[in-house]
Every structure is written in structure tokens, then in C-alpha cells.
Amino acid sequence: MTNSLRQFFFFLFLLPLVSQAQPREEKPPNILFILVDDLGYHDLGFTGSSFYETPNIDKLASEGMVFTNAYAASPVCSPSRAAIMTGKYPARLDLTDYIPGNRHYGPHPDQKLASHPFKLFLDPEETTLAEAFKSNGYATFFAGKWHLGEKEMHYPENHGFEVKVGGNATGHPAGGYFSPYANPQLPDGPEGEYLTDRLTEETIQFITKKREKPFFALLSYYTVHLPLQGKEEKVRKYKEKRRKIVSDGASFDQQGKTYFKNSQDVPTYAAMVESLDDNIGRLMRALAEKGLAENTLVVFTSDNGGMASSNLAEQIPTSNAPLRTGKGYLYEGGIRVPLVFRWAENIEPGSSCAYPVTGTDFYPTVLDMAGLQTLPDQHQDGISLKPLLAGEKLDKRPLFWYFPHYSGGLGGRPSAAIREGTYKLVYFFESNQSELYDLETDRAETSDLSASLPKIRNRLHKKLHRWMGEMNVHLPYPNPFYQPDNL
């Protein structure tokens, strides 16, 4: 055998060994971000609900990491969504209420303070999360509720989303949850089609489409926001379930003109939650059937706490108990939200994390998880949670909230808050007073420690007001139309 032949056969022998030694080039992960509207922390089976049935979301939680101290950046929708899209606190964005906000209707004589105008759109100068992914070669998709600007120039397609389904100025489904939808950005389906099903179907069509690019898809459900509309067969199911429940007392508490719901027992809302759960199951099955599950990071969360109060008792859909109050408040019921991250073989199934996180953290986290360069000049108020998702630790840091508005019929009042460690301080602008709670022992926020722990109260009070100064916030001011005698 000649030397050249020996070299040839030796090369053939080595070839499979060399190919095995070469690491496989990892594809960038897909990102499926699922944002639910007004879903309360305790509205799911895995977070403690016994009335609502959510087996698919519970399964998703069991397959990834659950954050037990996850917060929205605001107790109402538009600011919370802006924080997710930019990685900045609503106070920094000067977008602090839902668009157009209660101040749009003018100061009320029963409101001691008035708030300044705020920005009624997501500023085009911001580099959104979608724009960051698009610039890195991702296909981008949006479906559902946008509510970040009243003009078309501020709609999703002008903030980095190449494909848009729905996505306009409205904060709730204008025509309700059954087709026809009265949504110019969403063609009507067959009469009676359910909106939650439709948005899921549109998303499945996008994420399962064959393409070379990875995708970033934001599915922003309108559900479970009012109006209360569920599928008839599911409503009947929960009416029967409620009939079998032995009530422990009144379903509401009342403070002044505001009612607070203290039990989960509204059949139509339960039906809406179950339809949401059905569709999460559809999404996960679609990923699995197309071989996409292993390389898709799924994020599931809500934009604020559940709606648990109103001056009209019959309009209150859920209860966040034992968490205090709900949407429109800086107590735990208004800002604590469910949060799940799932990515097969990259996040430990069945894991949980108690580290406090907030909506501004999503931007750097998903970029980091995708192996992309983060943009610290943009997401100034967020940190990457990648170490936590890998089972590692992060240094403690404070979280802040600024909500200088009245929350209309919900009953919330102008306030700001800070959480540092287990302590949370809520400051009320009307009274210039603070309340202090230890969330480790009192997550229901029933025992105000401000008098018994003055050093902690003063330290957090100073930090909160220093932060508001750094954010250059527009503080609420005395309402010239205030008429206390009419109360």
C-alpha cells in the first residue's frame, strides 16, 4: 500500500471522530412571551386558586421556574406594558397611568390632589424589545392588546413588530370577546368566534411557519380584562361548581364607596380563565408537534394584579386574597403577578425563585438568554435574571413604583412604594404618610410597622423620595376643584 493510500484511509478513519468532536452550532432560541391582561397572582391553580381550573398553565409552571415574588412595574396596564417594552420604570418614561388616564376626564371634586399630564404614547425614541430582536435577525410578531398610543404612528408595527394582529389604542376588546370584534386591525372571524381562541390561532400560524430566522412573538391577550364574557358551556360548568360551594360569609367588604371582593366565585370570569388555559395548552402542543419546544423560551406573566375592587360590586371579577386589594393599588394585590420561565434543558423543571423581580427585568433577561448583547443604556431599570434561571444568586436591590393618580372606580389613591429585602413601604401623597410591612411574615399587609420600626421606615422613605428625585417625577398637586364638604 502506498503512503498516499495509507494517508487516505487514515483520514477516513479520523473523519467521524473529528466530526463528533466538533460542537454543534447552537441555534438562537425562539422567544414566546405571553402577557395576560389583569390576571391576578392567585388566579391559577399553581398559585392557590381552588375555583379556577388551569391544568395547562400549571403544567407549564411545573416544566420551568416559577417566580414567587414577581411584580408588575405598575398597578395598571399601559405603564406596565411600556416598562416591559423598554426596560425602564414608568416614572422614567413619564407614562404613569393607563392611556388616556382618569385625569383625561378632569379633576373630580372629591379628589384632594390633581396629577400632571403624562405621555400618552410609547416614545418612538425608545429602542423597544422588539426592535432589539429585529436588529439581531429575529422575525417579530405581535397579537392582541397594545394600548401604548392613540394614534397609528404609535402602534406595534412602528415599534419593531413586523407582523401585527390587532394591536391598537383600545385597552379592552371594543366589540367584546365574540366576533364581530369591532377592531379595524383584526378582521372578524365567523360569528361567535372567541377572541382568545383567535389570537392563539394567529400566533400558532406565525410560530410554526417554516423560516430560517428565530422568532420573537409577543402574544398579548385581552383576556381576562372586562367585559365579563365566557363560553356558555364553561359558564354553566362554574355556576354548578359555585352552587356546591358552602359560603363562609359575605363575598365583599366595603370601605366608603368602594367594594372589595374577598372570594373567587364569579362563573363567567372562571370561564374566561379556563379558556385562557385551554389556549396555553394549544400553544404548548403546537411547539411540541413542530419540534420547537426544546429551543423556545416561553415567558408567561400578567400586566398587573387582578381587578378586585370597584364602586360597582357586580363588576368585580376576582379576588386576590390573601393579598390586599388589587388593580389600581400599590398593595400586593395590585402589583404582584404570576411569572413562569420555561426553556427545556436550560431551566430546571419544577424550580422556583423567591428573588423579587419586576417588569423592567424582562428586556435584559430575554436578550441575555438568547445570547444577544444587552443594551444597558436602554433597559436602565432592569437586570438580567439569567443567573437566577441557572440556579445562581443575585445581589439584593430595591424595587420602586410611582403611581401619582386616582384609579377611578377602583378606589386607589396617589401613592409610591419601595420594596427592599422583605420590607415594603407604601407612601400616600394625600396624607404625606407611609405604611411599612414585612412581606415575609405579612404578605396580606395587615400589620403596619411604621410606628414600631421607625429606622426602617425612615430609611426606605428617604430612598423612595431620592429615587423620585432621580426620576424627575411630576408630583401630584392640590386640586383647585376639591370640595371636601361634598364628601
* CATH number, domain with residue 55: 3.40.720.10
Which pTM was predicted?
0.94
What whole-number distance in Å separates Cα of residue 409 and Cα of residue 315? 10
Q: Is residue 459 part of a domain?
A: no
- What is the reported pLDDT for 102? 80
The whole-number pLDDT of residue 263 equals 95
Does some domain include residue 7?
Answer: no
**Which domain covers residue 56, as residue numbers?**
26-393
371: in domain: yes
Residue type for 124, please? P
> Average pLDDT of each block of 10 consecutive residues along the chain (487 residues)?
48 44 67 98 98 98 98 98 98 97 74 95 98 98 98 97 97 97 97 97 98 97 98 98 81 93 97 99 98 98 98 96 98 98 97 98 98 98 98 98 96 98 98 98 98 98 98 96 75
For residue 478, tell me if it sits in a domain. Answer: no
Q: How far apart are alpha carbons 166 and 168 in whole angstroms?
A: 6
Query: Does 241 reside within a domain?
Result: yes
Asked if residue 63 is part of any domain, the answer here is yes
Position 158 in a domain:
yes
pLDDT, residue 15, reads 44
Domain membership flag for residue 339: yes
Q: How many domains does the chain have?
A: 1
